[in-house]
Chain A
């Protein structure tokens, strides 16, 4: 382990100056390595995929933090670690001041009620053999929140209504519904336990363009109504800009930039963030004609064998010799605007 690696968990945080009580979720030096094995009978580990390699950030109560990056950058794994669907290799996740990493099953189950998830694919994340009412009601039964069946049913109807679906949908099966309606069911299920924090993992990516806006508006209304906090994992940068208060950009298992949304989009500092924003086409031919279309060269390297030093340096237009030597840590360039790059 290099000196820079050892320092990673102590990265000064964007949220360091805000009082502890305002932070709902705190990710500290999170690492998740997946072993790559060889041999069918006696598998032995030959390498590790470093999906998440030293990530730290805070999510404040009531905010939406966007986590963006391209496929394989570790954004989904980060979300799954927070949800305790993956056991982190290293690092800590604090929820409301309690560390989730060392909790026993029982106390974890209590906390799980407060942390929910909305998945990307509304087709595969709903059980096709269950009616919508059963899907939404299942968490209520599992956690024994409403012992009375009548009350359970009332709660399901209430949730359908909140998510913009008619009551009669409780008796339908997922295949009878469109993609947008199914995603509303997924949202209703996530809300059924009255959570405080929801991880939205590419929650609108699989939906049609005309339906995306409906679900985005719904997510925003619900956040205000129920005082929710979101971690919004997505690759669509225009949607993230619309929905999020702060944004963290990930590349190859690391956070390269964190800032308030308007600051990040208006004044991106990390060369990767800049390239990412330039690559997004705007729905206006006149604007597009004026824009320069510089494309980032090369492709994302394998997380099994990430480049030494700054993971972005082989593709970086600003790279100098030192970039391949030391891992840059996040520095605060402006208030709340953190960048992991030595050249900006």
Chain B
């Protein structure tokens, strides 16, 4: 099904070649932390887009800046020590980084919802589920208490919580981890947002519950046309749920493209190494895994060159001298690697 957008709205093609209006444009975003030990460039100039209704995954390991990058969109970085030092975040025609405090508060929770990793710490333990839902609704929408309660019951039903009326009177500790995450999803969806940012939403959950929650999120975001930024370190979750993928390493996006492209034609040595290092259940067992050698980078001691260079099998002289920028490889796919041509050759020979 092809969608038509009114002229004047900048569009681009999504992973299935359909024209999709841009919802979010992050450009050269930089978030730094000033610590006693030195300056940490947690996010060091990332740019990407999210189309309406699209699921974009941000993958990377701890400390790569994936969470900080997403929290910066809503300016949820504690300051000090954090500071957004540059870039722009255009959402529905405005730059979120230049909005006033009052205005950004109206965006948070209303136009952009958030789901965090640990629902126990993101829900208020001393308020009932019902109060937390109706408070959010009444904060953002002009509704009466009765209407808000009615909507809260609907929302809990929608996320698959049985007996929603009774649940409204319960506290977060009455619920299991999976149920709490369902409440978080209900909260995130409560004010009809256009975008939800989910930061490791299932990392704290068991695998069968993870599957339930992810299916629910996929189903609801598709049905309601909500775009999703899914931050995760789990390559399987990305493969199952994402339309497009940004791979991050040491504060930068090193590769960006559709999920299929990233998995089948990885164009950055880090992505390639990462995909090779995980054991896969659908393939014969290997005698030994091929790990990514070396240690994760220390963000305070990054040199001028590519941050992945010390662990990279393709590293050449210029990789140590200057950091590569994201450049097109093929079909809207981007990679930040000086040796991407050699990588592509090797991959072709290998296959």
The answer to whether A and B interact is yes
A binding-site residues for B, Cβ under 8 Å: 70-71, 178, 180-181, 208-214, 216-217, 220, 235, 237-239, 241-242, 262, 265, 275-288, 293, 295-296, 299-300
Whether the Cβ atoms of A293 and B178 lie closer than 8 Å is no
Complex alpha-carbon distance, A51 and B275, angstroms:
36
B249-263 Cβ-contact flags toward A at 8 Å (1 or 0): 000000000011001
Q: What number of B residues sit within 8 Å (CB to CB) of A? A: 45
Contacts of A279 in B (CB 8 A): 207-208, 210-211
Whether the Cβ atoms of A210 and B282 lie closer than 8 Å is no
Complex alpha-carbon distance, A282 and B263, angstroms:
11
Complex alpha-carbon distance, A300 and B212, angstroms:
13
Contacts of A211 in B (CB 8 A): 291-292, 295-296
Report the minimum CB–CB distance from B256 to chain A (whole Å).
Answer: 15
Residue of B nearest to A215 (CB): B291
**A-binding segment of B127-135, B192-200, B221-229, B236-244:** B236-244
Whether the Cβ atoms of B207 and A235 lie closer than 8 Å is yes
Residue of A nearest to B59 (CB): A209
The 8 residue pairs across chains A and B that have the minimum distance between CB atoms:
A281-B236, A213-B291, A210-B292, A70-B206, A242-B279, A279-B211, A213-B277, A283-B235
- Is B62 an interface residue when CB atoms closer than 8 A count as contact? yes
Whether the Cβ atoms of A280 and B259 lie closer than 8 Å is no
Complex alpha-carbon distance, A178 and B294, angstroms:
11
Residue of A nearest to B176 (CB): A299
Given contacts A209-B274, A210-B61, A235-B206, contact A284 B237 (CB under 8 A): no
Whether the Cβ atoms of B275 and A283 lie closer than 8 Å is yes
Report the minimum CB–CB distance from A99 to chain B (whole Å).
Answer: 34
Whether the Cβ atoms of B296 and A282 lie closer than 8 Å is no
Contacts of B174 in A (CB 8 A): none
Whether the Cβ atoms of A287 and B206 lie closer than 8 Å is no
Whether the Cβ atoms of A238 and B296 lie closer than 8 Å is no
Whether the Cβ atoms of A283 and B236 lie closer than 8 Å is yes
Whether the Cβ atoms of B282 and A214 lie closer than 8 Å is no
Complex alpha-carbon distance, A283 and B290, angstroms:
15
Whether the Cβ atoms of A210 and B277 lie closer than 8 Å is yes
Whether the Cβ atoms of A275 and B239 lie closer than 8 Å is no
- Is B215 an interface residue when CB atoms closer than 8 A count as contact? yes
A-B contact pairs, 16 of them (CB 8 A): A180-B295, A209-B233, A210-B273, A211-B292, A211-B296, A213-B291, A241-B281, A275-B208, A277-B281, A280-B207, A280-B281, A283-B236, A283-B278, A284-B264, A287-B239, A299-B209
